[in-house]
Chain A
Amino acid sequence: MMPRAILHRTGVGIATMFVVSILIFIGTSVLPGDVAQIILGQMATPESLAALRAKLGLDQPAHIRYFLWLGDLLTGDLGISKAGSGAGTVGTAISTMIIPRMWNTLRLAGMVAVIAIPLSMTVGLFTAMYPGTRLDRVVTFSTLSLISVPEFFVATFLVLIFAVKLHWLPAIAYMSGNETGWQLIKALAMPTLTLVIVVSSQIIRMTRATVLNVMRSPYIEMAILKGVPRNRIILRHALFNAIGPIVNVIALNLAYLISGVVIVETIFAYPGLAKLMIDAVQTRDLPLVQACAMIFCAAYIILLFFADLASILSNPRLRHPK
């Protein structure tokens, strides 16, 4: 039955989130020093540390602390950052730091998805329709090259072309938060373009491979032998059967966007969540790193879940297992 496969996949997704949260907790709690020291900073005396630890529950053993952290996380309390903590002052609440940043990152990712998906699907289909032609070879070679180079390579050359040589776009995406219209588009243009290029290359390659794979199946051979024109074969026979795998490919690639976002936000100084996380890693602000990592991993797992869902829904054999 269809719902059972989906329920099973949801269960696996939730279990994975649980394990990932354990890994992140272990990964960040190996360091000496804790939130109590972060909050008290210079003011820390052994007595005040012990008092605050008892108040925050930090004197508990690790597994209890893990569940306390998880409980806070689930109720939306992301904890307190090191940032802003100093003599006598308590650090900033992480949720207030994260929300505007998350909105910026979502806006960037949304723009990329809206441009990259239709573009790369069209190009991918087109190359699959004419395999072996000069156009196909040019596209195949350039997408192979683009997926082999680091994101910062693409970004550096775009800066060189559009900011340094042509002076069309600013080299950094500084945003104060109240840009409108044209200014906003200009600030977003370079980060978006970089990510579109990186993500599209992946989707083009995989779309092409998927459609060509479908083209090898017996019913396509049948259609060819019947004398159906090539365009009609691809658009009516192959495409519909390739849609499931292609949706799968798109969800997977949006998940890969995450590592791209980290690089792109850094190079263009784009005030998003990934930039916040890199800064947190550099200042060793562990509560903030934990919170950001959990958000990114959750996004990744949800996208992978959709990728699986697409392949379950598009495959009648998985949809109605015997």
Chain B
Amino acid sequence: MLVRDDKTGATTPFEELPDAPPRRRLKLSWSGKLGTCVVAFWMAIIFIGPTIAPYHEADILDEALFIEPGSNQLYPETDFQGPSMVAYLGTDFIGRDTLSRTLWGARTTIGISLVATVLAYLVGMTLGIAAAVGRGILDMTLSRVNDALLSIPSIMLGLVVIAAIGSTIPILIVLTGLIYAASVFRIARALGQDVMVSDFVEAARVRGEGLWWIITREILPNVATPLATDFGLRFVYVILFISSLSFLGLGVQPPMAEWGSMVKENLAGLPYGSIAPLVPALAIATLTISINLIVDDISAHSGGNLAKRMI
């Protein structure tokens, strides 16, 4: 944290001030560090994945690539091939490169989930804080609607809406965002209510600060940390939700590569020893487990109270 010196215009570290609190640093255990590395890896793949992928996600590899030099084979098998120099992780059910599709799929799966989670946070936090600040009829209306939404299993809500209006990527993002906004709302409202009754908000009110000032300067900084941890958990749920819908054939539509649908479409290869369904499954697992390891680590260090509030 930096504090600006008014006279010189220079910034001095807050820690150097005489009455500064001892600096709190986030210390992660080995599992947290491992998680951070894996998450960083996948985040990098979102950006560079399609560039470093050997083929395009929709490319069906040419039969000629699979002819062994020197053999007079004319029509080689191209689907469900094992790892080779042509396709490092083998091919899928119609002969596309598994590695390339997994790298492209990172952008689809993580990208859609990230946008949906951010949307859930924008909607859920705005309404949640509004309910906590507004109280009365606003709080009651929003909370009742929210309770009803939460009492429907999210997959059911998703299925009903997709049955009615179909599934495109924008629909998927808005739908997921709204479904998960309900749980964000509940947490943001509870946290906001805690802060609203605190002495420093009282003091700010007495001082004559406006509502906007109180929200941005008092409430948001105080709910930021728990909500940030919750973001990680929510992000995992969203990834699982999106990939499960795609696995059911109701999410991202082919030929776009999405990890959930890649598992589904290649499932038939399992009996032939193909690793095509396992690669995307492992990709999801490494990402979600890593995020949970980080969240678990952070909440263990912040007194465990945090984790309990989020269940």
A169 to chain B, nearest CB (A): 13
Tell whether B119 is near chain A: CB-to-CB under 8 Å.
no
Tell whether A60 is near chain B: CB-to-CB under 8 Å.
no
Fill in one digit per residue for A3-32: 1 if any B CB lies within 8 Å of its CB, else 0: 000000000000010011001100111110
CB closest chain-B residue, reference A145:
B289
Instruction: State whether B248 touches A262 (Cβ < 8 A).
Output: yes
Instruction: State whether A277 touches B159 (Cβ < 8 A).
Output: yes
Tell whether B193 is near chain A: CB-to-CB under 8 Å.
no
Instruction: State whether A156 touches B270 (Cβ < 8 A).
Output: yes
Tell whether B156 is near chain A: CB-to-CB under 8 Å.
yes
Instruction: State whether B250 touches A282 (Cβ < 8 A).
Output: yes
Task: Among A148, A160, A301, point to the contact of B285 (Cβ < 8 A).
Answer: A148
Task: Among B149, B159, B244, B264, point to the contact of A151 (Cβ < 8 A).
Answer: B244
A146 to B278 alpha-carbon distance, docked (Å): 16
A201 to chain B, nearest CB (A): 12
Instruction: State whether A293 touches B156 (Cβ < 8 A).
Output: yes
Interface size class of A (residues with CB under 8 A): 35 or more
Instruction: State whether A164 touches B289 (Cβ < 8 A).
Output: no
Instruction: State whether B288 touches A149 (Cβ < 8 A).
Output: yes
Q: Of residues B149, B153, B248, B260, which shows the largest number of chain A Cβ atoms within 10 Å of its Cβ?
A: B153
Tell whether B122 is near chain A: CB-to-CB under 8 Å.
no
Interface residues of B, dominant DSSP: helix
Instruction: State whether B147 touches A156 (Cβ < 8 A).
Output: no
Interface residues of B, count at CB 8 A: 48
B183 to chain A, nearest CB (A): 13
A147 to B293 alpha-carbon distance, docked (Å): 11
CB closest chain-A residue, reference B160:
A27
A206 to B264 alpha-carbon distance, docked (Å): 31
Q: Which residues of A contact B152 (CB under 8 A)?
A: 20, 23, 297, 300
Tell whether A250 is near chain B: CB-to-CB under 8 Å.
no
Q: Which residues of A contact B153 (CB under 8 A)?
A: 255-256, 258-259, 296-297, 300
Binding site for B on A (CB under 8 A): 16, 19-20, 23-24, 27-31, 141, 144-145, 147-153, 156-157, 159-160, 163-164, 171, 206, 209, 213, 255-256, 258-259, 262-263, 266-267, 277-278, 280-282, 284, 286, 289-290, 293, 296-297, 300-301, 304
Binding site for A on B (CB under 8 A): 31, 144, 147-149, 151-157, 159-165, 236, 240, 243-244, 247-250, 260, 263-264, 267, 270-271, 273, 277-278, 281, 284-285, 288-289, 291-293, 296, 307-308, 311
Q: Which 7 A-B pairs have the closest CB atoms?
A: A19-B148, A259-B155, A148-B288, A281-B163, A148-B292, A149-B285, A27-B160
